[in-house]
Homo-oligomer: A and B are copies of this chain.
Amino acid sequence: MSPHPVHSTVAVVLQVREARLQVLVWQRAKEPQSGRWTLPGGTLAAGESLEQSIRRHLAAKVDVQELSHLEQLETRVDAAVAPSWQVSTAYLGLVPTHLDPAIPADTRWHPVDALPPLAFDDGVTIERGRDRLQAKLSYTNLGFALAPPEFTVSELRTVYVAALGHAVSATNLQRVLLRRGVLEPTGERREPGPAGGRPAALFRFRTRALAITDQFAVLRPQRAGE
């Protein structure tokens, strides 16, 4: 066993596709765990940061330009990998619905609630990524990372339903996000389809950088006062 561990970075890349939250995974051709699916990633090179590393490895799978958000999840020592001693840092990456990145033949999108057999602890890592996404959808503007640049409220609703895994009321979605100043109307409207219906107003996220919009700041006095 070498004196220093091999450090690798992996990513849970999530996107809402066909109204389901899906994760990008890659099928191992070689041992160990041949045939099983794993998260994309690879080893850390000298002189690069962890974020540079995961972006470099993902570039082989997805166009990095298409990642609308990337944040670190957790680092752990991988137990089972026999000869080499491995430390890996997991990231969460998000891709907005209007993009359909070209991916290599050995990779595939799988719904996070119907995963194939996974290698190592990747199942746990995916779950952690999904939990993080779900939590941040509630108290930040992270929706921008899943949604296209412009959308109607009901389009945004299907994204939230897929990501959160429960029903979401379009009425309340619109009101919450407008009240918090997360969405703004573009002024344009989407013309109705052949079935008719009132034309829908188009919205966009006011900013496309992560911001906390619901300070769960209990116990804080409201009038100034440090």
Contacts and interface: CB of A to CB of B under 8 A. Distances in A.
Contacts of A195: none
Interface residues on A, range: 35 or more
Provide the main secondary structure of the chain A interface: loop
Given A49-B76, A164-B219, 17 more contacts: A1-B46, A2-B4, A3-B46, A44-B87, A46-B85, A75-B75, A135-B216, A138-B216, A138-B217, A138-B219, A139-B218, A165-B226, A166-B220, A166-B221, A167-B225, A169-B221, A172-B219
Contacts of A217: 138
A160 B50 contact: no
A100 interface: no
A89 interface: yes
Copies in the complex: 2
Nearest to A176: B218
Interface in A24-55: 44, 46-50
Contacts of A168: 219
